[in-house]
Amino acid sequence: MRAISFQQSSEETLLLKLSGPWKLGSDLPTVEDVAGRIASGRRVRKVAFDAEDLGNWDAGLLTFLVKVRDLCRQKNIELDSRGLPEGVHRLLGLASAVPEIKDTGKNQVRERWFARVGDRTIEAVRASREVLEFIGDATLTLAKLAGGRVRMRRSDLLLIIQQCGADALPIVTLISALIGLILAFVGAVQLKLFGAEIYIASLVAIGMTREMGAMMAAIIMAGRTGAAFAAELGTMQVNEEIDALKTLGVSPMEFLVLPRMLALVLMMPLLAVYADLVGILGGMAVGVGAFDITLTQYAEQTQLALNTRHILIGVVKAGVFGIIIAVSGCLRGMQCGRSATQVGYAATSAVVTAIVWIIVADGLFAVITNVLKI
Amino acid sequence: MNRSASHIGVRNLTIAYGDFVVMRDLNFTINRGDVFIIMGGSGCGKSTLMKVLIGLKSPATGQVFYNDKSLWEIDPTDRQQIMQRFGILYQSGALWSSMTLAQNVGLPLELYTGLAAGEIHDLVSLKLSLVGLAGFEEFYPSEISGGMRKRAGLARAMALDPEVLFFDEPSAGLDPVSARRLDDLILELRESLGTTVVVVTHELASLFAIGNNSVFLDPETRTMIASGDPKQLLAESPDPKVRRFLTRGEE
Ligand SMILES: Nc1ncnc2c1ncn2[C@@H]1O[C@H](COP(=O)(O)OP(=O)(O)OP(=O)(O)O)[C@@H](O)[C@H]1O
Ligand SMILES: [Mg+2]
């Protein structure tokens, strides 16, 4: 049975007869049926209802009626809702009580292609300005630190140092030991062709200190600490905690960003050196265990291959990576919008930004050291 | 102290997020020692207006005067100095989540008073007991309820005995007894310290009990449609929207 039928009850009045159950999920008539009827028939000035045979109903009926109401408004047709059950009548009244606020700033206008390209460009320029401003701000704050007048709590700094230093040791140990192992295995297979297995030690030593130690520590810290920074600062942004700091006259740059940058810049070189060490031990395990090199031979060869230059390059890189991770973590956190989804986005984006720039910086280091022949 | 001198003045103020105008053409004056109520329907821009008054968000056009200095035309360091004289309770409490309640209330004191740790400790306990949170010094914000967070935020706002207190819906989430105590506290602060208090609230009981001046924001026309003593507005305002608000829609 159709749940609706039409009747031109009198001169210019369309009577909608509603019958049977009107529940969501069942096959309900749509407002288009009504619109079609109004368009096709004689001129209609008034819409009325007959709900004598109406069964159970729920929000399905209400949404239909609200649409009918909007349709009537649009076509300048009077709506007579007296024929509806009392409850429906009242709910419909509530739904119309608060006038819809027009222009909430969310008008869905489809933009033209050129406009979109323009908007994106302007947005990109604005975003890069923001990044530069942030870096400038951070530099100024560092300068202020040298001057000795910054508002930062020592306990915060120590806690963050612990979180991004000591607490990161287990994962750094695991990853760098594995990297040492892998380097040794991959290298050994090739070197064996020339009977030069002993050079595994050199390969691992130089590979770890110049490249992999700093790089792996950086990637671990980007995922671990960079994301945490962004999420922490983002949540503080959402909870208005940063606003509360600002009104207290405390610069979030000094109070929140500075200790995080300091902690990472101090800890990253240490972590890198530690990673170098563990990596070399990993390589040693392979060299001594799987290829017959004695412990002393391996140690001697490592010592021969290594010099302070390699180690220093790794350490400097690690410091730079530390700055990159801290800046991208804090930047994304401070830029975070005011909702929980934005916090997740900030964390993800901090990791991606950091890793991209770490690789770029590493490339630059490779070129520079090559040009300088160091 | 000159009781009726203008403390905060708002002239032709328009506030907006990008192109979206939240409120336009606001004009009102908050006098020294006023308990000034900002009222209006949910989402009409009360919190945003408060952000502009406290110097966190710049207005699209118009001015906010603080003791006849235009808050948004002086340089940022001067503005910062003025902001230090404000005590602010945010709608969400906005406690610093990595610090205990004692540290939250104590930080402003540490930064600006140069008091010894022992004195700060005593002051913190006093402020926390004023809002009924004695004994919660070592709790973290995540370990207390929403209403308690609100009260702790209040204690922090009062830490430095500010010249102006801004409260964004202070009694939302509080039981009637605590809400009443809060009203008494506000009146007491005004009486004893001459603090100017700006309150965003919908609570009719407290609004009539404490407010002596107000502004009514209307979301449809996007501007203020009434201002003055709330009791007087109830008695005399010709505007049906204002009357409906002040009588809970019963008129
Ligand atoms: N960050 C923002 N960006 C864009 N628009 C915003 C932002 N914050 C708030 N708005 C808009 O500004 C308007 C006013 O918001 P506001 O938070 O000031 O309202 P309110 O009067 O405090 O509401 P409530 O009584 O519910 O707290 C809302 O329509 C909201 O959509
Ligand atoms: Mg609000």
Average pLDDT, chain B: 87
Q: Chain A partners of B112 at a C-beta cutoff of 8 Å?
A: 249
Same domain membership, residue B51 and residue B147: no
Least confident among A327-331, A340-344, B201-205:
B201-205
Task: Write down the pLDDT at residue B3.
Answer: 47
Residue A269 lies in a domain: yes
Q: How much is the ipTM here?
A: 0.83
Residue A153 lies in a domain: yes
Q: What is the SS3 assignment for B43-98?
A: CCCHHHHHHHHCCCCCCCEEEEEECCEECCCCCHHHHHHHHCCEEEECCCCCCCCC
Task: Write down the pLDDT at residue B1.
Answer: 45
CA A169 to chain centre: 26
Rounded to an integer, the average pLDDT of A140-158 is: 86
Same domain membership, residue B137 and residue B20: no
Same domain membership, residue B137 and residue B29: no
**Where residue A99 falls among pLDDT bands split at 50, 70, 90?**
low
**Where residue A236 falls among pLDDT bands split at 50, 70, 90?**
very high
Structure tokens, B39? 């009222």
Give yes or no for residue A107 having a pLDDT over 60: no
Structure tokens, B45? 């821009």
The percent of residues in chain A predicted with pLDDT above 90, rounded, is 52
The dihedral of CA B25, B31, B37, B43: what is its sign? positive
Give yes or no for residue A102 having a pLDDT over 50: yes
Determine the angle formed by the axes of helices A258-290 and A169-193, rounding to 10 degrees: 40
Average pLDDT, chain A: 88
Pairing verdict, β B61-66 and B69-70:
antiparallel
Same domain membership, residue B198 and residue B140: no
Dihedral of CA atoms A93, A98, A99, A101 in degrees, nearest 10, equals -150
Task: Write down the pLDDT at residue A263.
Answer: 94
Q: How far is the CA of B17 from the centre of ligand 1 (A)?
A: 9
Rounded to an integer, the average pLDDT of A245-263 is: 90
Same domain membership, residue B75 and residue B103: no
A330-353 pLDDT, tens digit each = 999 999 988 889 999 999 999 999
Same domain membership, residue A328 and residue A192: yes
Structural domain that includes position B42:
1-85+167-251
Give yes or no for residue A82 having a pLDDT over 70: yes
Structural domain that includes position A340:
130-372
Question: B175: domain CATH number?
Answer: 3.40.50.300
Number of structural domains in chain A: 2
Amino acid at A99: P
Same domain membership, residue B173 and residue B143: no
Rounded to an integer, the average pLDDT of B107-124 is: 87
Residue A356 lies in a domain: yes
Same domain membership, residue A152 and residue A65: no
Same domain membership, residue B97 and residue B77: no
Give yes or no for residue B154 having a pLDDT over 50: yes
Domain boundary among A97, A115, A139: A97
Task: Write down the pLDDT at residue A2.
Answer: 60
Task: Locate the chain B residue with the closest alpha carbon to A159.
Answer: B98
A295-321 pLDDT, tens digit each = 999 999 999 999 899 999 999 999 999
Dihedral of CA atoms A347, A351, A352, A354 in degrees, nearest 10, equals 130
Which numbered ligand comes closest to the C-alpha of B49? 1
**Where residue B2 falls among pLDDT bands split at 50, 70, 90?**
very low
- Name the region of A115 (left: φ>0; alpha: ψ -120 to 50; beta: rest): alpha
Same domain membership, residue B171 and residue B153: no
Same domain membership, residue B182 and residue B68: yes
Rounded to an integer, the average pLDDT of A135-142 is: 90
Same domain membership, residue B81 and residue B1: yes
CB atoms within 10 A of CB B35: 26
Range ranked top by mean pLDDT from B77-81, B105-109, B181-185:
B105-109
Question: Hey, are the CB atoms on B91 and A239 less than 8 Å from each other?
Answer: no
Domain boundary among A44, A74, A97: A97
Number of structural domains in chain B: 2
- The answer, for B96 touching chain A at a CB cutoff of 8 Å, is yes
Q: How far is B134 from chain A (nearest CA, A)?
A: 23
CA B69 to chain centre: 20
**Where residue A108 falls among pLDDT bands split at 50, 70, 90?**
low
- The answer, for B221 touching chain A at a CB cutoff of 8 Å, is no
Give yes or no for residue A121 having a pLDDT over 90: yes
Amino acid at A21: P
DSSP state string for A283-341: HHHHHHHHS---HHHHHHHHHHH--HHHHHHHHHHHHHHHHHHHHHHHHHHHT--SSHH
The residue with greater pLDDT, B114 or A133, is A133
Task: Write down the pLDDT at residue A81.
Answer: 82
Q: Which backbone phi and psi does A371 adopt, to 5 degrees?
A: -65, -45
Residue A226 lies in a domain: yes
Same domain membership, residue A143 and residue A10: no
Same domain membership, residue B177 and residue B132: no
Closest CA to B87 of B118, B108, B110, B59: B108
Rounded to an integer, the average pLDDT of A125-144 is: 91
**Where residue A134 falls among pLDDT bands split at 50, 70, 90?**
very high
Domain boundary among A78, A97, A116: A97
Question: Hey, are the CB atoms on B94 and A239 less than 8 Å from each other?
Answer: yes
Question: A90: domain CATH number?
Answer: 3.30.750.24
Same domain membership, residue B180 and residue B156: no
Considering CB atoms only, which of B80, B83, B96 is closest to A241? B96
Task: State the Cα–Cα distance between residues A171 and B2, nearest whole angstrom.
Answer: 65
B231-250 pLDDT, tens digit each = 888 888 888 888 888 888 77
Closest CA to A34 of A78, A65, A1, A76: A65
Task: Locate the chain A residue with the closest alpha carbon to B109.
Answer: A248
The model's pTM is 0.78
According to DSSP H, which parts of chain B are helical?
46-53, 76-83, 101-112, 117-130, 146-157, 176-193, 204-210, 230-236, 240-246
- Rg (C-alpha) for chain A, rounded Å, is 35
Rounded to an integer, the average pLDDT of B39-54 is: 90
Q: How far is the CA of B251 from the centre of ligand 1 (A)?
A: 28
Same domain membership, residue A156 and residue A258: yes
Q: Return the bridge partners of A162, or none.
A: none
Task: Write down the pLDDT at residue A293.
Answer: 87
Rounded to an integer, the average pLDDT of A59-64 is: 84
